[in-house]
Amino acid sequence: MNHSQHIPVMIEELLNIVNPEQCQTVVDATYGRGGHATAIYGRLPSDARMVLIDRDPEAIAHARSVWQAMKRVDIVQAPFSRLDEELKTLKLFGKIDAIIFDFGVSSPQLDNPDRGFSFRHDGPLDMRMDNSSGPTALEWMMRVSEKKLVQVLWEYGEERFSRAIATSIKQAISNGSIQTTRDLEQLVVAAQPFRDRHKHPATRTFQAIRIAVNDEVSEISQGLELAIEALAPGGKLVAISFHSIEDRIVKRFIRNQSRGNFYPPEIPVPKEMMHPRLRQIGKPLKPGTEEIHRNPRSRSAVFRAAQKVA
């Protein structure tokens, strides 16, 4: 197993918003390798409780090796869509003071060739966040139609050569010439007549397939919805995104929940009848120059936060 270091992003911003000293129960819904959890845990009151959640078995194994003996720490392997079930089992649903989401892929996942997330290392086409269940990226590409593959590459990767790439992928699958991340990378590069000088040609395709394999759009949307229900009144929701698709979901969610109930525009509704569920905390934040220099992978991070109104 590759134990590549994962550097948590925007720690100071997180601590300033969450204010752990005032919390009794905190959920880190994307444990990764525990960077955010460690920073928060060290500032919690001695009787406070922390829940560490991740869908990746390797992340959970790491959490158990580090945190198993810690008092008032619960470790749970689960996707965002099971947030309510797990917190209800722990009798904490509706009582959480802060929930943290750090979306995307962690450094250990990217840097481990066996996980298949990156074209920078040759390995199996896996890409599963939970590599103990569900179809691998290769199996998914074998099952999906060419039309659906074009749609995924366009919507989740914003790939302008989605048709050419999808056709090449399906042809390669039919003749058995695609098995590894290197195979996919070379195929994608060959299918593009023009290159982006600022981004590797395979970046968008790998991102899109990963999002589809892990059903990330649905998982993020469900996780945010369940987080509101899980929070106590006044509880805080923090979401750190790393690409526009993730951030768009978070942005719209906070905006819509801050507006409250939907009414047709022609109906005059007093503000007290809107019943907003969230209040946005400040403006979206980006890493500073010093953090980006220290951790280049943080450069695309966007930090958003909101507080449960009722």
Q: How many CA atoms does the CB half-sphere of 22 hold within 13 Å?
A: 10
User: Which two three-digit tokens encode residue 78?
Assistant: 């689960």
pTM for the full predicted model: 0.91
Q: Give the tens place of pLDDT for each residue, 175-194.
A: 999 999 999 999 999 999 88
User: Which two three-digit tokens encode residue 251?
Assistant: 């942005």
Nearest to 243 by CA among 282, 293, 290, 208: 208
pLDDT at 297 over 90: no
pLDDT at 101 over 70: yes
Segment 74-99 mean pLDDT: 98
Q: State the Cα–Cα distance between residues 37 and 28, nearest whole angstrom.
A: 6
CATH 3.40.50.150 residue window(s) in the chain:
11-107+216-308
CATH 1.10.150.170 residue window(s) in the chain:
131-213
DSSP 62-129: HHHHHHTTSTTEEEEE--GGGHHHHHHHTT-TT-EEEEEEE-S--HHHHH-GGG---TTS--BS---S
pLDDT at 4: 46
- Could you say which DSSP state residue 156 is in? H
pLDDT at 90 over 60: yes
CATH number of 11-107+216-308: 3.50.50.60, 3.40.50.300, 3.40.50.80, 3.40.50.150? 3.40.50.150
Q: Give the tens place of pLDDT for each residue, 33-60.
A: 999 999 999 999 999 999 999 999 999 9
pLDDT at 3: 39
pLDDT band at 2 (very low <50, low <70, confident <90, very high): very low
Q: State the Cα–Cα distance between residues 250 and 244, nearest whole angstrom.
A: 10
Ranges 31-45, 77-91, 132-146, 193-207: which has the least confidence: 193-207
Output the furthest CA–CA distance in the chain (Å, rounded): 63
User: Which two three-digit tokens encode residue 264?
Assistant: 């047709």
pLDDT at 140: 98
The CATH T-level fold of domain 131-213 is DNA polymerase; domain 1 (1.10.150)
pLDDT at 267: 60
pLDDT band at 272 (very low <50, low <70, confident <90, very high): low
Contact call for residues 39 and 30 (beta carbons, < 8 A)? no
